[in-house]
Amino acid sequence: MKSKFLSSSLSSINIKLESVSKARLSVGLLILVCWFYPVIFSSGMALLYPSSLLLIVAFVVLVYKTARVREFKAYLLQREKMIERRTFQNQTDFKYTPDDLNRWGQLLAKMNIDKSAHWDDLDLVKPQGLLQAIHTTGNAESLQSLINLMRRSPLSTRQIQERQNRVKVLANGPRRKALALLTLNPESTSVNSTNVLLKESLVDSSAWVYAVYAYYVALIVCYVWFLISGATAFAVLLFGLFFIFPVANAKVKIFKTLAWVSGFEAQLNRLQKVKKIVHSYAVKAEKEKIPMLHSFLESTNGVSFEDSIQELNRIIGAMGLRQNVILYAIVHAIVPWDFYWTARAESLRLRLEKVYLRWVEDLVEFEAIALLSEYSANIVDGVWPVVKDAPATLTGLGLRHPLIPARYVVSNDVELNTTTRKCLLITGSNMSGKSTFLRTLGINLVLMRLGAKVHATQLEASPFQVLTSLKRVDSLEESLSTFYSEVKNLKEIRDECISHISIYLIDEIFRGTNNRERLIGAQKYIKALLQSPSIGLVTTHDLELSQMDQEYSNLVNEHFADTIENGKMIFDYKKKLGPCPSTNALKVMEMEGVF
């Protein structure tokens, strides 16, 4: 939903930006006339040179004004994007264009993702999945950081609480909107490329820099002589600049510095906007003893984060003068602009070589936490889950699927423990909501492990490892059938349930084999799970399995069902107690005209 005020403001800003740009171009052309007319015609110097100084001042003012207008336009565009993101995440109404999905696929192809089943089973990484809903920036490094947090590996109560504390600090912070600027500025520079930049020398010897300075001193003396005497040797003097440039650049590497500056520019745009907010949260984390952003408070060898960013900003801004050809030519005819800033860049590079990568890595982690905090803050009806430092236990009330639009989603409750409700056996008719409920619970538990808010009115759970078996596909790489792939996955789940406190989510167990062997296999497998320290849910169409509650008191039957109204199946998607009283497979076949 776009704001009418923002749309109107953007329209006005575009008109103003066009007007200022035209004025800047006109003044720049007048400056050139003022400078080159006396050189060519050897007259008019008395009036034109003083006039050019006034025009240069006006030109600089217009350049500054253009930059300010562009900054304000960028801010309005970011505000517009923030409103859209807040609406989508709050209403779980994620709308993606084909370009969005294509960019996501390209970004995901670069990621290091293990072969655990939960990525596909819970729709975590697929297009329009949970990760795309959370990761709203184009930074590959922060995406990999989120993926690492989502891995299935066991976590302790302390680790999850620590993650939650970090997310809470940002989500509940007084400057949360300012923090969103970090995630609204995509950044594509990798840590590896930054490392290469920091190791490349920009100046072979400082003596060359001083030699260039000496040449320019002589040049300025000649300028003064030219202005006083009106001599025409000015053109010969300018020719000397073209001679010294390639010679000096061999040792004072201006063009390499331009590449160096470009490599840092994307990162700096983000750092410049968020340096104060990063520092304030670093102070807050330090005060509350939360392990986050410590490197931003340290000063290594006299190198502080804020001072270094300011210096880097000055260098990038100065070297960016090349983008304005007119002003660049005027300035470089007077002072050794590029050489001076290359020397400062080299000095900064030597100071940053050991500490900058630590800042970048901490910022990558910080961005991942910031994305989780923004996602959490936008869940208006969500809650912070409570991590229980106790044997396997789970209480979830009002659980909702995070990826189903709010106007369609149906909430459900669940309760599991190791004494009376160790395994929940869910039966039900086709399309009634069994698989969706497993994903609802699984995704919310993943959010809990990330330290984020969950889509529920209450969630209390042990620090589970989330084990899933929901989707069955052939493994062409390993030449495995669908059934054998499932068997291997279930074997892994059983082993993990024995070695670590986990929650298992198994959909339509052993669906790939015949009825008799499926029933026997499922009974033996569920018995093995009941003997482990873990808890979980199993769905099935085999109503005979529901009779296992007569032998095992800690196995509980629940179901999803449909009703027939006016010849149509109606689903309420609400979980109910007991085994399913009916099935609908024959009804579906009949309604679709199969027989």
The domain spans of the chain are 4-91, 98-187+367-377, 191-363, 386-591
* CA gap 496, 439 in Å, rounded: 19
Q: 3-state SS string over 383-426?
A: ECCEECCCCCCEEEEEECCCCCCCCCCCCEEEEECCCCCCEEEE
- Can you state the percent helix, strand and coil of the chain, rounding each to 5? 60, 10, 30
* CA gap 3, 9 in Å, rounded: 10
Gap between the terminal Cα atoms of the chain? 47
Phi/psi at 551 (5° precision) = -95, -30
The confidence score (pLDDT) of residue 361 equals 81
CA 385, chain centre distance (Å): 23
How many Cβ atoms are within 10 Å of 454's Cβ, its own excluded?
26
The confidence score (pLDDT) of residue 401 equals 94
The confidence score (pLDDT) of residue 23 equals 82
Judged by DSSP in three states, 486 sits in helix
Taking each continuous run of H as one helix and of E as one strand, the counts in the chain are 20, 12
Q: Please classify residue 560 by burial: count the beta carbons closer than 10 Å to its beta carbon, then call 0-12 exposed, 13-18 middle and 19+ buried.
A: buried
From 2.30.30.140, 3.40.50.620, 2.115.10.20, 3.40.50.300, which CATH number describes the 386-591 domain? 3.40.50.300
* CA gap 394, 442 in Å, rounded: 12
pLDDT in tens, 33-52: 776 666 555 555 545 556 66
Element (H, E) at 147: helix 140-150
Please identify which residue in the block is written with the tokens 């609908």: 584
Judged by DSSP in three states, 577 sits in strand
pLDDT in tens, 64-95: 777 777 777 776 776 666 666 666 665 556 67
| Best CA proximity match to 273, nearest among 173, 376, 184 | 184
The confidence score (pLDDT) of residue 252 equals 55
Strand pairing report for 458-461 and 394-399: antiparallel
Residues 406/537, Cβ–Cβ less than 8 Å: no
Per-residue pLDDT of the chain (595 residues; tens, 9 = 90+): 455 656 677 777 778 778 887 887 787 777 767 766 665 555 555 455 566 677 777 777 877 777 777 777 776 776 666 666 666 665 556 677 788 788 888 888 889 999 899 999 999 998 889 998 888 777 788 889 999 999 989 999 999 999 999 998 888 765 555 555 555 555 545 555 566 667 676 666 666 666 777 777 776 777 677 666 655 555 555 555 555 555 555 555 565 666 666 666 666 666 776 777 787 888 888 888 888 888 777 765 667 777 877 888 788 777 777 776 667 776 766 777 777 887 888 888 887 777 777 887 888 888 888 889 888 988 888 999 999 988 899 999 999 999 888 888 999 999 999 999 999 999 987 788 899 999 999 999 999 999 999 999 999 999 999 999 997 665 544 445 788 888 899 999 999 999 999 999 999 888 877 888 888 999 999 999 999 999 999 999 888 899 999 999 999 999 998 877 776 778 889 999 998 877 666 666 666 655 5
* CA gap 498, 528 in Å, rounded: 9
